[in-house]
Amino acid sequence: MRIVAGTLRGRTLVAPSGASTRPTADRTRQALFNVLEHASWSRALKDMRVLDLFAGSGALGLEALSRGAGFCLFVDKDAGAGAAIEANLQRLDLAGRARVERWDAERLPARSAAQGDGFDLVFLDPPYRADLATPALAALAEGDWLTAAAIVAVELGARDQPPVTPSFDIVVDRTWGAARVRFLTLAGLHIAEGKACAPPP
């Protein structure tokens, strides 16, 4: 498992031991970022604040940092995952641009001032066939974690039931092999001039 592109391209990553996490395949990660970086409705990754839920090895958030994101908060309740992310941050010299929290992604607390501003981009990659995306999305919306124009990328198994997303609109739905990725924005967000923007007051 490696960083696919950016300033850290080719650097290898530590994966958590055991079968409790399922890292996103390099090819799927590349395809996902191709959508984020080239879709007319997306925005440049540079300086984005990123939230990586069910982070596992942290590969998605680390990829975003390599491609220019300013900060990433990694969230995974598994101790092995947290240790792997910390190891990756140290070996890639990214500790100053990231933080790791051992929270339950389905039960995120409300965002406090200590967590800083809202997040522009969220990766949500729960275990396949576990039906955890719906509560995690609800916690994101209810906890004020997102900026008005935030993009949420939800990775599911290709045969998984899609999450219930009343607070979000689906912008793109793609399947790559065993993975299905839905790109979401907050419900009611207007897509204008090729970019996501907040609805008028």
Each residue's pLDDT, cut to its tens digit, for the chain (201 residues) gives 899 999 999 999 998 875 455 567 788 899 999 999 888 778 889 999 999 999 999 999 999 999 999 999 999 999 999 999 999 999 999 999 999 999 999 999 999 888 889 999 999 999 888 889 999 999 999 999 999 999 999 999 988 988 888 999 999 999 998 899 999 999 876 543 344 444 433
The residue behind tokens 């204008």 is 192
Residue type, 69: A
- Sign of the C-alpha dihedral, residues 43, 48, 53, 59? positive
Domains present along the chain, CATH in parentheses: 26-197 (3.40.50.150)
pTM of structure: 0.89
Q: What is the DSSP string of 75-142?
A: E-S-HHHHHHHHHHHHHTT-GGGEEEE---GGGPPPP-GGG-S-EEEEEE-PPTTS--HHHHHHHHHH
